[in-house]
Structure 1
Amino acid sequence: MGTTGRALLVMSALLALAGCASYASLPLGDGRGAASAAGLSVPAASLPLPALATHRFDPSDGLDVTEVAMLAVANNPDLKVKRDELGIARAQAFSAGLLPDPQLSLSSDFPSASGQGLTKAFNLGISEDLSTLLTRSSRLAAATSQADQVNLDLLWAEWQTVAQARLLFGQVLTQRAQQARLDVEQRALEPLGHTVREALRAGNLTYDSASAGLNAESDVQRRLTDNAIALHLAESDLRVLLGLAPSAPLDLVGEPYQAAPTPAQVEQALANLPQRRPDLLALQAGYHAQEEKLREAILAQFPALTVGFTRARDTSSIYTSGFTIGLTLPLFNRNRGAIATETATRQRLKDDYDARLLTARSDLPRLLADLAALDRERAALDAHAHELDEARSSAERTWQAGLLDWPTYLAIRSAALAADLDLISVRQEQAKQATALEALLGNTDFDTAHPASAQASKP
């Protein structure tokens, strides 16, 4: 091989080594979660919603509903995986824009007999696949749109995590409120249960007539157990969502999330929904990526072309230079299968987008009607529960004075308990529907979304 060939090989090797990446280990974690929210910080500037980015995160005085949402976005384990997927998509977009490396070939022949003028022969060539250059722009555009889609999917996941944090916050507060109310009821029924059992032992009551009093105490205990199990599940789900350890304290303060948009706010939010909601924008980006994939498949039906240049020497020491051309003949395949697949995929993405948008527009009237119905029900329950609370207090004083029989007193207490629990449940359902409404309209952060300042509600 001549000096030129050796120099070309050395230069190629040096260039290849210069671009090599190095390895670094990444040990696995222990999956314990944070021991407490107090030691965590939240970078407000990176949060996806203005209401979160402008809120002060201070877990030292408890977590309100906004701080819970902030912590969920910053520390949720599933969102960390989503952010890793975004890194992969961006790396794939970077890879799609890289030019293909040229192919270098070298062969050598050795004469099997010795003779005057015979020498080693070699063939040195370099070639480039030009067909990949033809589809590069479409391939790069598709990968870039896919990275945009993953980024928007991440934003949508963050919005959904905010909604889930608000729901779990309200659910935990609801279960705690019901637990506290049932504890009060259990303590209040203990004297009544004692009176009934004393009457049974004295023979003044039969088990048939005493069953209502005994069952009331047992029913409250059953409700306490069921509610405790539901509370444990809700608290566990919230800790997982926040990336906290199972034993981490949950000091929640303030009121559940509420939203009461005006008709004008709803109309405006619905009008530009496709331009704001990340899941719809992600579907649009996915559709644009599929358009580019279809263009790439159509371009790939043309003959694949490879061009190269060669330098050779035969055994008689004669040097030659030339070129090579490789051409795929489109006789049978012509990339028709890929074109059909990409065309059908584009149609599916279009229909998926249309269905998602239709669902969003159809859910809105239902949510608004549900919120209006819950407002009316809460107003009625507020008045009803207040009346029954007064009746229960009066009945308790009368029963303790011996002027009211215990079955009547028990019936009044049972009605008051049911009204109180119903009122707590309605408040939770209002928070649930309000969260769903804002998520549906694209987390618009309505001015009336927070009935009271979260910081002011802290003790």
Structure 2
Amino acid sequence: MSIVVHCSYDSKHESSNLAEWVSYPRRGWRIPLACTVLLVVVGCSSYEPRPLPDSPQWATDMEAGVSPLTVDQVVSGALEASPDVRRAQREVDVARARRYADGLLPDPTLSFSTDRPGAEGFVPAFMVGLSYEVSALVDRPAKKRAADAFLDEKQLALAWTRWQVANHAYALYVQNVSLERLEAESGQMTAHLNDVSNRMDTALERADVTRDAAMLAQSRYRDSAQQSGALQQEHLKAIQELNTLLGLRPGTRLKLAAPPEPSDIPEDVIARALIDLGQHRPDLLALRAGYDEQDERYRAALLGQFPKLDVGVTRGRDTSAIYTSGLTLSVTLPLFNGNRGNIAIEKATRESLYDEYVQRLDDAYTAVEGITADLRLLQEQLHTERASEFALKGSLDKARRAYVRGNLALPALADLESQYLTQRIASEKLANSVLQQHVLLCTLIGVSAIDHQPLQRALP
């Protein structure tokens, strides 16, 4: 519905020169129109091309280093080069731009129309109007609060991603150093067992040993070579994961310094973290901010059910050269729509986010309890495996001294060496499983896997 009020007057009382009034609108509105066009052009953004790269952009600063990299350097490099961190940072930029867009005021509307008479003695008619949607200012505060909450959500999501990347980089660092050391030991053991197998074949030709002993030596060598190959594949996979995390060229081999030995998470650290887990873990805080955003979107939808109101002023002239000025009011009647559809959508979305937050909070506590129990069991198993490894190492040292004195045959020594290598590989794999669970638990409770200190949110 539109309500138009015009205030009219007769231009003949002001001037009898019709030609002057015919040319007046053309001269009078030229400057305002030119100023309007100039303001529109000045306020526009300009286009800046950004061509896509033709080749991958690899990081090279870490490759050029001569000294071994420390764990802090690897974690810092991962935070700078991780694609997940970059993606989360771009989402923060989008949220910041969205907040800027939601904070802008709506633009006024300028309208112009003209009529050309088909008979002589009349002048061209025109109508110029300037209007503004006043009702857009009603839900603007709610939309601004929603945009602020959306930005907080993305910043917290970025912090959560940084937490995960930092602890994952530490886990890959320790895993690579451990596998490199284990691969070197396995290679040495495989070369030794190959030499033993060759010596047993030579002794078999001289009939100094039985065929069964020679075949057993060959079998131990093949088992050791198979274990060494499996370790090489596992190490290669760990190297590729670390290179991907650091943004390095595939196949890059970094020199890594010996990391600090992982230590158990103190029970009091876990207890303190669980007290207010929902108040300091970024992903839970991000969900809370997302719920606050949606609550404001729902509030804005409720405000949007009220009639839209446009207020404007008009200036016109009819074909009789009579000028008019008026006020325009345009009101939308909420008879069929009334923004009820958007209200239903926003309300249902808010309920969905509420359920998601409650479920994530429950899952967080359940996951911490489950991983804590699994970690205790794995640590007990690792303690048993390490004890077996230590016992085999002592037996192997005694056997080697006995072999040097000629009190032990070579097949018996090779058998102990093979058992020790198998046990050591099993212990290291179990230690890696403990490390992975250790890192996951640290991430879930919000502490560093290196020193168990609370991780900083470091929001930009």
* TM norm structure 1: 0.86
Q: Which moved more, 1:347-356 or 1:249-258?
A: 249-258
Instruction: Tell me which amino acid in the other structure corresponds to 2:284.
Output: L
1:438 maps to what in 2? 442
Q: For residues 43 and 261 of structure 2, what CA distance do their matches in structure 1 show?
A: 53
Q: For residues 176 and 265 of structure 2, what CA distance do their matches in structure 1 show?
A: 25
Q: CA deviation at 1:404?
A: 3.7
Aligned to 2:265, the other structure's residue is in SS state: coil
Change (3 A) 1:210 1:170: same
Q: For residues 187 and 73 of structure 1, what CA distance do their matches in structure 2 show?
A: 40
Change (3 A) 1:446 1:325: same
Q: 2:48 aligns with which of 21, 24, 30?
A: 24
2:104 maps to what in 1? 98
Q: Which moved more, 1:159-168 or 1:97-106?
A: 159-168
Contact 1:79 1:154 in 2 (8 A): yes
Q: CA deviation at 1:406?
A: 5.0
Q: For residues 421 and 72 of structure 1, what CA distance do their matches in structure 2 show?
A: 28
CA deviation vs aligned residue, 1:86-122 (integer Å, no higher than 9, x gap): 111101110001011001001111111212xx11110
Matches within 5 A, 1:61-80: 61-80=67-86
Q: CA deviation at 1:126?
A: 0.9
2:118 maps to what in 1? 112
1:234 maps to what in 2? 238
2:35 maps to what in 1? 11
2:290 maps to what in 1? 286
Q: For residues 357 and 448 of structure 1, what CA distance do their matches in structure 2 show?
A: 22
Aligned to 2:257, the other structure's residue is in SS state: coil
Structure 2 residue runs of 5 or longer lacking an equivalent are: 1-24, 455-460
Aligned to 1:61, the other structure's residue is in SS state: coil
Q: For residues 31 and 426 of structure 1, what CA distance do their matches in structure 2 show?
A: 37
Instruction: Tell me which amino acid in the other structure corresponds to 2:389.
Output: A
Aligned residues: 429
* TM norm structure 2: 0.86
Contact 1:135 1:299 in 2 (8 A): yes
Q: For residues 247 and 447 of structure 1, what CA distance do their matches in structure 2 show?
A: 30
Q: For residues 257 and 385 of structure 1, what CA distance do their matches in structure 2 show?
A: 18
Contact 1:239 1:246 in 2 (8 A): yes
Contact 2:98 2:147 in 1 (8 A): yes
Is 2:280 the counterpart of 1:255? no
Is 2:352 the counterpart of 1:348? yes
Contact 2:84 2:161 in 1 (8 A): no
Q: For residues 252 and 312 of structure 1, what CA distance do their matches in structure 2 show?
A: 80
Matches within 5 A, 1:359-374: 359-374=363-378
The structure that has the greater radius of gyration is 2
Instruction: Tell me which amino acid in the other structure corresponds to 1:224.
Output: S
Contact 1:307 1:326 in 2 (8 A): yes
1:191 maps to what in 2? 195
Q: For residues 348 and 358 of structure 2, what CA distance do their matches in structure 1 show?
A: 16
Instruction: Tell me which amino acid in the other structure corresponds to 1:179.
Output: E
Instruction: Tell me which amino acid in the other structure corresponds to 2:29.
Output: G
Q: For residues 8 and 289 of structure 1, what CA distance do their matches in structure 2 show?
A: 42
CA deviation vs aligned residue, 1:255-302 (integer Å, no higher than 9, x gap): 256353333222221112212111011101100000011111111122
Aligned to 2:29, the other structure's residue is in SS state: helix
Q: 2:171 aligns with which of 146, 164, 167?
A: 167
Aligned to 2:326, the other structure's residue is in SS state: strand
Aligned to 1:309, the other structure's residue is in SS state: strand
Contact 1:169 1:238 in 2 (8 A): yes
Aligned to 1:323, the other structure's residue is in SS state: strand
Aligned to 2:424, the other structure's residue is in SS state: helix
Q: For residues 352 and 396 of structure 2, what CA distance do their matches in structure 1 show?
A: 61
Aligned to 2:223, the other structure's residue is in SS state: helix
Q: 1:274 aligns with which of 278, 290, 310?
A: 278
Q: CA deviation at 1:161?
A: 0.7
Q: 2:227 aligns with which of 220, 223, 228?
A: 223
Q: 2:88 aligns with which of 79, 82, 92?
A: 82
Change (3 A) 1:143 1:334: same
Contact 2:130 2:314 in 1 (8 A): yes
Instruction: Tell me which amino acid in the other structure corresponds to 1:312.
Output: G
Q: CA deviation at 1:163?
A: 1.7
Contact 1:36 1:245 in 2 (8 A): no
Q: Which moved more, 1:296-305 or 1:437-446?
A: 437-446
Instruction: Tell me which amino acid in the other structure corresponds to 1:17.
Output: V
1:391 maps to what in 2? 395
Structure 1 residue runs of 5 or longer lacking an equivalent are: 40-58, 451-459
1:414 maps to what in 2? 418
Instruction: Tell me which amino acid in the other structure corresponds to 1:15.
Output: L
Q: For residues 413 and 338 of structure 1, what CA distance do their matches in structure 2 show?
A: 73
Change (3 A) 1:147 1:119: same
Instruction: Tell me which amino acid in the other structure corresponds to 1:133.
Output: L
1:52 maps to what in 2? none
Change (3 A) 1:430 1:66: farther
What's the C-alpha RMSD, in Å, of the aligned pairs?
A: 2.5
Instruction: Tell me which amino acid in the other structure corresponds to 2:78.
Output: A
Q: 1:311 aligns with which of 306, 311, 315?
A: 315
Q: CA deviation at 1:345?
A: 1.0
Contact 1:35 1:248 in 2 (8 A): no
Q: Which moved more, 1:227-236 or 1:22-31?
A: 22-31
Q: CA deviation at 1:437?
A: 1.7
Contact 1:257 1:434 in 2 (8 A): no
Instruction: Tell me which amino acid in the other structure corresponds to 1:97.
Output: G
Q: CA deviation at 1:211?
A: 3.7
1:146 maps to what in 2? 150
